């Protein structure tokens, strides 16, 4: 009885190099798309964070005679006197579900990192501090004007992180991207 040996043909070095080249080419083509996808996911995360902040602000407003909170934007350089009892965004909105994670934008942590300095990636705009939600007054050259809360930005990103734009939360709770 005779045994026959069969040789199996393997890949040649040329075939392996061709496969590696094709994979490298596909990876190169996919990289910009992946970066755009990551940028978009960061923008969506920040928009979601701002929506949660908006819900917390509206909860605060409903429990405090329909008035917006006094929030100290930079504790190291306070705007309000100690008698006003203004606190940072985290301390003010924490009872309404805001956590440090909600106040953190992933792009900020990877860049300037405002969270480390101010405990937030978002800038509170004090234009509505202490004003009523239904009829806020904005002061233009010392003259008060009544403006709809839907037109006033109360919280924004510190930087233009998202495709040269920044997310903004308005007084009525809606979030959109703006140039500045």
Q: What is the pLDDT of residues 7-59, one digit of tens each?
A: 667 778 888 889 999 998 888 877 777 777 888 888 889 999 999 999 999 99
CB 152 within 8 A of CB 138: yes
Q: Is residue 47 situated within a structural domain?
A: yes
pLDDT of residue 5: 65
| Per-chain mean pLDDT for the chain | 84
What are the residues whose beta carbons fall under 8 Å from the beta carbon of 124, sequence distance 6 or more? 71, 73, 89, 154, 155
H helix runs in the chain, sequence order: 13-63, 89-93, 106-110, 114-118
Q: Is residue 44 situated within a structural domain?
A: yes
Residue-wise pLDDT for 124-133, tens only, equals: 988 787 777 7
The three-class DSSP label of residue 9 is coil
What are the residues whose beta carbons fall under 8 Å from the beta carbon of 150, sequence distance 6 or more? 170, 171, 172, 174
Nearest to 136 by CA among 125, 148, 124: 148
Q: Is residue 7 situated within a structural domain?
A: no
| Domain count within the chain | 1
Q: Is residue 3 situated within a structural domain?
A: no
Cα(39)–Cα(115) distance, integer angstroms: 19
The reported pTM is 0.77
Counting residues of the chain whose pLDDT is more than 70, the rounded percentage is 93
Q: Is residue 2 situated within a structural domain?
A: no
**What is the extent of the structural domain holding 39?**
14-178
Residue-wise pLDDT for 100-145, tens only, equals: 999 998 888 777 888 888 888 898 988 787 777 777 777 767 677 7
Q: Is residue 6 situated within a structural domain?
A: no
Q: Is residue 23 situated within a structural domain?
A: yes
Pull the structure tokens for residue 180. Answer: 């500045």
Q: Is residue 1 situated within a structural domain?
A: no
pLDDT of residue 49: 94
């Amino acid at each position: 009885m005779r045994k026959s040996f069969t040789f199996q043909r393997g890949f040649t070095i040329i075939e392996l190099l061709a496969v590696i080249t094709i994979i490298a080419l596909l990876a190169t083509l996919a990289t910009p798309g992946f970066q755009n996808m990551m940028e978009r996911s960061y923008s969506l995360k920040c928009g979601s964070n701002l929506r949660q902040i908006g819900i917390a602000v509206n909860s605060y407003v409903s429990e405090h005679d329909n008035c917006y909170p006094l929030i100290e934007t930079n504790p190291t350089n306070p705007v309000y006197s100690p008698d006003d009892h203004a606190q940072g965004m985290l301390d003010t909105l924490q009872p309404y579900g805001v956590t440090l994670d909600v106040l953190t934008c992933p792009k900020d942590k990877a860049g300037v990192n405002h969270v480390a300095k101010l405990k937030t990636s978002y800038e509170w705009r004090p234009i509505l501090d202490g004003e009523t939600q239904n009829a806020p007054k904005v002061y233009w050259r010392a003259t008060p004007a009544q403006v709809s809360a839907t037109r006033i930005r109360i919280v924004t990103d510190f930087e233009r992180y998202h495709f040269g734009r920044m997310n903004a939360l308005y007084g009525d709770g809606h979030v959109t991207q703006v140039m500045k």
